[in-house]
Copies of this chain bind each other. A is one copy, B any other.
């Protein structure tokens, strides 16, 4: 039998999801699990979206347009218009099957095998899989908990640039660190990109999720200044609690790139028609929805940070945005600990599931005592989860 490809052998398991079989086994034993491992919100979607399920106008589910359904595209144009980017046209948008597909296409469209993409480390773990599938290499720019995971100065970044560097990939607000990059940092990245002819790929999936007055500075602000170089990869998953609707959108003024994306889109026919019908209602979602949403996540954030900081040996920064926190735990190997939480521990028949952080780093050896915790549960559940985590750390065998 011919062997499998290098990619099949090497595509990493998701640290967010690879422990799922252990979680399922625990559930079968009757253990309740608080899911802190995954950014799957519990907040209700805008009711107009869920109500739309009852008005699906077909007796079947036909293909959608390969670029995306015009109703959804127009709704998104309205959404970006409200944010101050009213000059976008339909042709500047391509609907994707989640932000995931958008990132995969983007990396594959600008990288030959062996090319490099700079990104702040720790980074969203699946960037690694997408890069690997394109044969590209993620080159980490180290950031640390001490500086709230913000960018080092330009010279540190520029030292990483080689002939193979094609892009800077930035997640703003950042999953997993919660860093929110303001204008000054984004201007610096733009300067570097322009100087070296690099693309900026911005993952702004958590755009609305910013707290304490922090404001992510969108790359859409640079469209006029650097039209060929800006690629926004966006998703509806988080802001409307539509993770399972698998809808993202790429925005760029780079015409050649957008034409390539349309051909990628044609090859996979379309994104989901039902999902687009549901999400196409977003033009009817009030600002109040977001205000309430962010207020709730902010409360959760405060509860979580306060709770974690009370646990002996736990170190965490205060996230400025998104809904994750990177926490150092007093354990040697957070992956073993995360598995142990599911296989060997429970408190009053309950336990927590966290994402081991090593998979969020490209640099070997980093993050092995860290976990990513998502604050996507209600306050009561979150408080209970912190108590469980504290008890677990208390009794976790030190060796």
B-binding residues in A (CB < 8 A): 1-2, 4-9, 11-14, 16-18, 20, 38, 40-45, 47, 50, 53-54, 56, 58-66, 97-98, 100-101, 104, 108-113, 115, 126, 129-130, 133-135, 166-167, 197-199, 228-229, 241-246, 256-257, 260, 262-264, 266-275, 278
Contacts and interface: CB of A to CB of B under 8 A. Distances in A.
A245 B257 contact: no
Contacts of A275: 61, 272, 274-275
B63 A45 contact: no
Given A45-B60, A59-B47, A243-B61, A4 B270 contact: no
A28 to B, nearest CB: 12
A241 B61 contact: yes
Nearest to A264: B11
Contacts of A110: 2, 4-5, 8
Nearest to A12: B263
Instruction: Count chain B CB atoms within 10 A of each CB in A64, A101, A197, A260 and give the residue with the most.
Output: A260
Counting every copy of the chain, the complex holds 2
A38 B63 contact: yes
A242 B38 CA distance: 29
A110 B7 CA distance: 9
Given A8-B257, A266-B14, A42 B54 contact: no
A244 B61 contact: yes
B97 A268 contact: yes
A245 B269 contact: no
Contacts of A58: 50
A208 to B, nearest CB: 16
A273 B257 contact: no
A368 to B, nearest CB: 20
7 contacts: A4-B260, A8-B110, A45-B59, A53-B54, A60-B241, A62-B241, A272-B272
A98 B50 CA distance: 23
Given A60-B242, A66-B17, A272-B272, A267 B126 contact: yes
Contacts of A266: 13-14, 16-18, 126, 129
Given A5-B110, A129-B267, A245 B273 contact: yes
A61 B112 contact: no
Given A60-B41, A100-B268, A272-B244, A129 B5 contact: no
Contacts of A126: 266-269
Contacts of A63: 38, 40, 243-244
Contacts of A264: 11, 129
Given A97-B97, A126-B267, A245-B274, A43 B56 contact: no
B66 A20 contact: yes
Contacts of A257: 4, 8
Contacts of A9: 260
A4 B106 CA distance: 10
Contacts of A274: 53, 244-245, 272, 274-275, 278
Given A1-B228, A4-B256, A246-B270, 17 more contacts: A5-B108, A5-B109, A5-B110, A6-B112, A8-B109, A8-B256, A40-B62, A44-B60, A50-B56, A61-B275, A97-B268, A113-B135, A126-B268, A129-B264, A244-B272, A244-B274, A246-B272
Contacts of A2: 110, 166-167, 197-199
A188 to B, nearest CB: 19
